[in-house]
A and B are shown apart, each in its own frame.
Chain A
Amino acid sequence: MQQSVKMVVTGPFNSGKTNFIRSVSEIDVVSTERKITSAAERVKDQTTVAMDFGRITVDDELVLYLFGTPGQKRFDFMWEILSEGMLGFVVMVDSTRPETFREAKSILETFRAYAPTPYVVAANKQDLPDAWDLDDLRIALRLDPTIKLLPCVATDKEKVKTVLLELLYAILAEMEAAT
C-alpha cells in the first residue's frame, strides 16, 4: 500500500508559495488560483484561493505531497485543515516587503500552535536588489538563532531543494533527539 506524507508551504500573500512548489513538483501544480479582485492585493494577477498541491514520488510505497496555503487572510480557515498530520512546514517570507514581515511571523506562530512540528523559514526573492539580508530579517522576524532561516529564490529548483532538505534534516534531528 502506498503511504503519503505531507509538508506545508505557508506564508503571506505573494510570498512565493506557488512558485516554490512548482519548482520541485513532478506534476503540474494543482493550483486553484483566481483573478484578484481586491485592489489592495493587486500586486500580482492571480492568487491561491484554496490551496496549491504538488507531488514528489519517492518510490512505489511513498509519496510526498506539498501543500501551499492560500495567501489571503480571508482563507485562513483552510490553514488548520492543511496543517493536520504534516511532517513539517516552510514559512515563505518575501524579503523585499517588510510590510509583510509581521504577518509572516503571525502565520508562523499560528502554525506552531496548530502542530508543534519542525519548520524552516525561507527568505524568498533574495535575488532582487531590494531584498533584506538574512541577519536583518532574523531580527525583524524575531527568530531564535536555532531556527533555520534560509536564502531562497522560489523559481530556482536548487534553492528550493536546499530549503526542503534543511527542513527534512530538522525533522530527522528532532526524531533522533526524541529517541
Chain B
Amino acid sequence: MPLKGNLRDFSTTNLLNLINLAKKTGTLLIEGPNQSAQMSFRNGKLIYAAMGHEDGHLATVLRKAGRLTEEQVRVLRARAPNATDKELGLLLINAGYVSQSDILNSLRHHMLEIVYRLFTWAEGMFRFEPTLMPGDDKITVPIELENVIIEGSRRMQEWAHLVEELPNLDMAFKWAERPNAANIRNMNLSADEWRVVSYISPKNSMRAMAKALGMSDMEIRKICYGLLQAGLVELVRPPGMVTRPLPQPQRPADSARPAPPPPDRKQQVSIVTKLIARIRSL
C-alpha cells in the first residue's frame, strides 16, 4: 500500500524514522515547492540521495570534496563524456587520482548534505516507491539512519533557532559602524562567508543574496547570523516588518481530574462478558 503524503503533515524526521524501523527498501520521492529530491534505501539504510536539478555526477562530487580540481573535472568530462559513475570511479582509482575510500567518503558526505537539507523542508509531497531503486550505473553507499536522524534533528533545532533570530529573509545587513577590532583580528572567514561578505549591503536582502550565491535559506541564515554575532554587520529590518510571535506551548491535558469511584469489579466483568456475547451475535 502506498506511503504518501505531505511533509507539512509527516516530516522528514518522521519518514526516516519510519523507514528505519520498518527496514524498508525502495525510493522516497519528494516534490518540494522549488525543487525535487529522492532518497533510496535498502533494508532501512540510506544508500543514495539526489537533489533534482543539482549535478550529482561523481566528478562534481569529488571536486566539491576537494579531491579533484576544476581542471581535472574538465578533462574527465572531455575524455569520458558518457562514463557512468562506476566506470569513472574505476578509471580514477586505476589512474591513482583518488582511492576507493576517497570516493565513498565524498559520496557519503554528498548524500548526507542532501538529506540534512531535506530536514528543513516544511512542505513537499512525498511518495515511497518500493520497486524503484537507483540505476546500476550509480554508486550506492549504505548509511545507518539512526545517526542521520539524530544529526538532522540537531540541525532542525539549530534551524529553528536561526529562524527565530532571523525570521524574515527580506532583512538585510549593513557594515557595523564600530566593529570590535579584536574580534576582526581573530576572525577567519570561510570561502562561503567571504562570498556573502562581498554582497553585504542594506540593499541586498538575505533572500537576494541566497539567490545570487545559490545558497539555501539555512546556509544564508547561518552565515549572516555568524557575521552578526561577530559584530561585523548590523541588521537592517525592512520597513513595516512585524516580528513573528513565538508559538505558545499547548496547555497540557488536565490529568488531575478526579476519576469516578470504581464500581464493583465482578459486576463489571459480567457486564463486559455480556457485551462481548451480544456484539458477536450482531
Which residues of A line the B interface, CB within 8 A?
3, 5, 24, 56-59, 62, 64, 80, 84-85, 87, 97-102, 109-110, 113-116, 129-133, 135-136, 139-140, 157, 161, 164-165, 168-169, 171-172, 175-176, 178-179
Contacts and interface: CB of A to CB of B under 8 A. Distances in A.
B260 A84 contact: yes
B278 A64 contact: yes
Contacts of A80: 257
A53 B276 CA distance: 20
B2 A129 contact: yes
Interface in B126-179: none
Interface of B: 1-6, 8-10, 14, 17-18, 21-22, 252-255, 257, 259-260, 265, 268-269, 271-280, 282
B4 A130 contact: yes
B17 A139 contact: yes
Nearest to B24: A136
10 contacts: A58-B278, A64-B275, A99-B10, A135-B22, A136-B1, A136-B18, A139-B17, A139-B21, A161-B279, A165-B279
B275 A58 contact: yes
B219 to A, nearest CB: 29
Contacts of B4: 98, 130
Contacts of A131: 1
Nearest to A64: B275
Contacts of B22: 135-136, 139
A113 B255 contact: yes
Given A24-B282, A168-B279, A114 B257 contact: yes
Contacts of B259: 115-116
Contacts of A113: 252-255
Contacts of B1: 129-133, 136
Contact of A56 (B6, B252, B253, B278): B278
